[in-house]
Amino acid sequence: MIYLKDYASFVRNNKLEDFVSTDLKNIHSFNIPLMQFFAHLNEKQLRATLRESLFRFLKGIENETAIKEVKASLENWKNNGVLGIPREAISLTDITLIYTAQKVTIQYPI
């Protein structure tokens, strides 16, 4: 786990834009239905939203709070608290694909 923490810190501090680009590419390749709710955003806005999310994701790995944050996100989803998107509009498939895209991104050498 120590190497993952170091890697997350390195990416966050030195390669965040590359990480965002790779994750965005992975998200598009997975054709995640949830992304329809972000169709109104231009590329710059979408990247900014994703950058903020990935920054928190990497910071969570560094601080060993990532699992706690995922649980909190799932709880927010259950309580209709995800970006103003109704709970019924977010499927378990969406959640699984988003986390799969993040997993693929973090495994991709930057």
pLDDT tens across the length of the chain (110 residues): 679 999 999 999 999 999 999 999 999 999 999 899 889 999 999 999 999 999 999 999 999 999 998 888 888 878 876 777 888 888 889 989 998 999 999 998 77
Residue with tokens 């259950």: 78
**Residue 85 pairs with which residues in a beta bridge?**
82
Rounded to the nearest 5°, which phi and psi values hold at 31?
50, 55
